[in-house]
Structure 1
Amino acid sequence: MDSLPSLRTLNNVNVWRERNDEDGEPLSPVARLFHQPGSNVYIVAIMGSKIKLQPDVIKPILIHALLKHPRFSSLQVEDKHSGELKWIPTEVDIENHVIVPELDPNMDGADKFVEDYLSNLSKTNIPNSKPLWDIHLLNVKTSEAEALIIYRIHHSIGDGMSLMALILAHSRQVSDPSLLPTLPVMNKKPNLLNLKGFRFVYILWNTLVAIFVFVLTAFFLKDTQTPLKGPAGVELKPRRFIRRTLNLQDFKLVKNALHCTINDVVLGVTQAGLSRYLNRRYGELQKYNGVTGQEKEKNYLPNNIRLRATFFFNLRASTKINAAGVICHNIFFNTTLWFSNVPGPQEEVSLYGHQMAFPACSCYGQPNALMIHVISYTDKITFVLSVDEDTIPDPYSLCDDLEESLKLIKAAAVPS
């Protein structure tokens, strides 16, 4: 990270644990998948603060909030006999994990600076000689926040939902500091065994088809090679992280008009936005074929495009992980993008005593050129894009397409 400013660290605070390699707990199968070639994935969580950060206040809270969690105070060490990775408790020096760059808080181009800072982080890995996480405190004013807290956590420590839950467990409602944040509650889905007739057959058939396609994807079925699909080795390239915040009320209006869910609207906006982006990119490829300005809304999309997103669950009990690592890498690489959707707090919250302006999460190290993460907070929904700029050189245009798609869907579903 040569392009980052000089860093200073916090005062030395140590947490000691007795080390016993034989008593180490093995990593779960999914945790070990994230150490396989092509799957070295890090989670990046950005928390905007409405006030300047006070490192001396945050530091002792972090000791209580994170270092008491075994995974944040353990090394991942290969067992000498079995070769398997284990969690080994270790002495943690907070100075090596909390980084506070000395910055001009009122610098020009702060938003671009933060983008570059995050992109530079994606060029590096955390050494295995310490627990695989760090936190960066940036006291720089951007267009949406007075300062930023940036978490970088290896995906083997936990998934996005569990890490977000851990962070929010140490936040409180601004209106009542004695209360934890509240998250939207999903309506309970009917049990498959309680369904009857055609609906049961319909869900069962779709499930079987999805499993069949999943197996084919693991071995040879690839998405169409589009301008969104990255080349082999894309997981090794740096990322650009872009955010676009939209009004949650617009999603609710569409949801109520169409009698669907917020997730349905989010997926519809995402699909429409990707279609608009691809249509423009394919149109640009044909710009030398006599296309006029009047034809710019023409459909240039090829027929029968296969474009899918990927997510996965830890259902595998076997401890042998090498073959599974190859299969998972194939699944990720053979699809076009990663997609994640996480509900956030419904009210404004404070984190470590600092009122939050926004949360945003994403990843780097995944074998896809594009990841879209969607998170809600109070009355807003934020789309966070993690892109390989060689594949997607204009990520802001993709954000514009997502925003425009929401406007078009809202106009069609809720006529004025």
Structure 2
Amino acid sequence: MGSPANDTDEPLTPAGRLFLQPEINQVIHCVMGLKNQIDIDAIKSGLCNSPILKHPRFTSLMVRDSRGFEHWRRTDIDIESHFVIIDDPVSSAASDESVINEYLAGLSIDPSSLSTDKPLWEIHLLMAQRRVDDGDDLPMMVSAIRSMSNGRTRTCWRNLWGFLLMLWFSFIYVLEFTLRSLWLRDRKTPITGGAGVELWPRKLATARFCLQDMKVVKAVLAHATINDILYGIISAGLSRYLDIREPNGLQDGLQITGLAMVNLREQKELQDLSHLMRGNSGARWGNKFGVLLLPVYYQRSNCTDPLEYVKRAKTVMDRKKQSFEALFSYKLGDLVMSYFGSKVASLLNYRTICNTSFTLSNVVGPKEEIMFYGNPVTFLRASSSSLPHALTMHMLSYAGRADMQILVAKDIIPDPEFLAKCFEDALLEMKAQAMAGM
């Protein structure tokens, strides 16, 4: 039974309601490495006095009214109920990183672990992940926040030619997106997921990139962005991986399609959090994002210039930025949610995911090293709970490096560590080619 709504309750956004559906229930997992031993009391004390506990999403319950509609309801915080302290080792894995990745992989197939009787966030402290024989091994903090990370997009209106290109690319990409939502799907490959795969056991590996290496590649391609470089790395790395998994079974040029989240908010809405929390900024809380289809074309890696992957990626991304694809996907989801309800909207999104092959996101983190209540932060990483995709990749940059968490259905992709190395090697080859051409 639902509870009556009151005057201070705020309805969930369409995206928020969508992510509560069982098929695509999403929890974001953030990992923070700390240089020194974890001081639990200092963290609790700091959180109690932090702006986080003034943020409505961190201080509200998710409740359903008598009609079944979800709302946010402000509540008091019991800080103790949001901490999970794990003193004993959670795995016998060889390294701390493997332990953390195994722990996150387990959380990824249990989105119900966040209880709705409190605001939807937790902090997990893995106290045993600091080996006495190695002072460089780091304790980890794992937090779970129900939200969504995303990127940005732009639309070109500069001149008539740009306007005509915008119309053409919008038509092409909107048509493809619509077909993907209905029946058009990728051909089966060694990384293909599908209906029910969100429930399969997971493995997690980390690919590490140096942002300076990405900038070297970016410098030799006019107007390229880090997103272009990442997209090229994914294209090259998947081709390399599939060369090994299916050396004779895939057709050259085969399309493998991914999904990427795109932030549709104006930057000014996000710049002053204090005004937003006081309610006088005019901005609305909640997710506002669209989806882009990202086609990757398999190429035999032994006969391709590594920079060609980035050039193709940049061409595709430039066209995507000139289209209304992301805005269309947002409006379509909003329309379906409003007129047909969350069940139908969830089915539409679920079909789109099942008809594609991977998820990709990239979030820009702090450029300088930061402190977490007096403890230096050594790295930041992000992942999410499972989707019907067998392959989900989330990259987060921090202080000159970028770590990409690679979450896989282990019965489909049993070797994510090798896949991570394929991505790392792809960037190094691109860097070497770029420096050779300077």
- Tell me which interval the TM-score lies in, with the shorter structure as reference length: 0.7 to 0.9
Following superposition, the deviation at residue 218 of structure 1 comes to: 0.6
Query: Counterpart of 2:271?
Result: none
Q: How many residues align?
A: 352
User: CA–CA distance in 1 between the matches of 2:13 and 2:345?
Assistant: 13
Provide the rounded CA distance (Å) in 1 between the counterparts of 2:149 and 2:83: 20
Could you say which residue in structure 2 is the equivalent of 1:79? Answer: 65
Aligned counterpart, 1:153: 145
Offset of 1:262 from its aligned partner? 1.8
Tell me, which stretches of 5 or more residues in structure 1 are unaligned? 1-18, 163-185, 287-299
User: Is the aligned partner of 1:22 residue 2:11?
Assistant: no
The alignment status of 1:138 with 2:115, answered yes or no, reads no
Q: Work out the CA distance in 2 between the residues paired with 1:54 and 1:151.
A: 16
Is the Cα contact below 8 Å between 2:150 and 2:362 reproduced in 1?
no
Tell me the distance in 2 between the aligned counterparts of 1:372 and 1:29: 24
Matched, 1:113 2:99: yes
1:230 aligns with 2:177: no
Instruction: Confirm or deny: 8 A CA contact 1:49 1:145 kept in the other structure.
Output: no
Superposition deviation, residue 145 in structure 1: 5.1
1:218 partner amino acid? S
Are the equivalent residues in 1 in contact too, given 2:109–2:385 (CA < 8 A)? no
Q: Is the 8 A contact 2:150 2:361 kept in 1?
A: no
Unaligned runs of 5+ residues in structure 2 are: 262-289, 291-329
Q: CA deviation at 1:101?
A: 1.1
How far does the alpha carbon of each residue in 1:164-192 deviate from its partner, in whole angstroms, 9 at most, with x for none? xxxxxxxxxxxxxxxxxxxxxx9x96x62
Query: Using the alignment, how far apart are the partners of 2:251 and 2:377 within structure 1?
Result: 44
Residue of structure 1 in register with 2:202 after alignment: 239
Distance in 2 between residues matched to 1:396 and 1:377, nearest whole Å: 21
Match of 1:37 in 2: 22
Within the candidate set 68, 74, 78, 2:54 is matched to 68
Say if 2:259 and 2:358, in contact at 8 Å, map to a contact too: yes
For 2:138, give the aligned amino acid.
E
Q: Would you say 1:266 and 2:230 are equivalent positions?
A: yes
Q: Could you tell me how far apart the structure 1 residues matched to 2:201 and 2:27 are?
A: 12
Q: What is aligned with 2:346? A: 325
Pairwise CA distance, 1:303: 4.1
Structure 1 residues 266 and 109, CA gap change in structure 2 (3 angstroms): closer
Q: For residue 234 of structure 2, what is the amino acid of its counterpart?
A: T
Within a 5 Å distance, the mapping from 1:251-400 to structure 2 comes to: 251-259=214-222, 260-283=224-247, 301-312=250-261, 313=290, 314-315=330-331, 316=334, 319=338, 320-400=341-421
Q: Following TM superposition, by how much is the alpha carbon of 1:304 offset from its aligned partner in structure 2, in angstroms? A: 4.8
The alignment's TM-score, normalised by the length of structure 2, stands at 0.74
Per the alignment, in what secondary structure is the counterpart of residue 212 of structure 1? helix
Whole-Å separation in 1 of the counterparts to 2:137 and 2:108: 22
CA distance in structure 1 between the partners assigned to 2:57 and 2:109 by the alignment: 24
Q: In 2, distance between residues paired with 1:206 and 1:410? A: 31
The alignment status of 1:129 with 2:129, answered yes or no, reads no
The amino acid that maps onto 1:274 is: L
Which one-letter code corresponds to 1:346 in the other structure? K
The Cα of 1:104 is off from its aligned counterpart by 6.5
User: How far off is 1:251 after superposition?
Assistant: 0.8
1:33-62: CA deviation from partner (whole Å, max 9, x where unpaired): 012231111111101111111110111222
Q: Secondary structure at the match of 1:137?
A: strand
Supply the distance in 2 between the matched residues of 1:408 and 1:146 (Cα, whole angstroms): 30
Q: Sequence identity, in percent? A: 34
Distance in 2 (CA, whole Å) between partners of 1:21 and 1:205 is: 45
| Residue pair 1:217, 1:334 contacting (<8 A) in 2 also | yes
CA-based RMSD: 2.5
Distance 1:69 1:238 in 2: 34
Q: CA deviation at 1:381?
A: 1.8
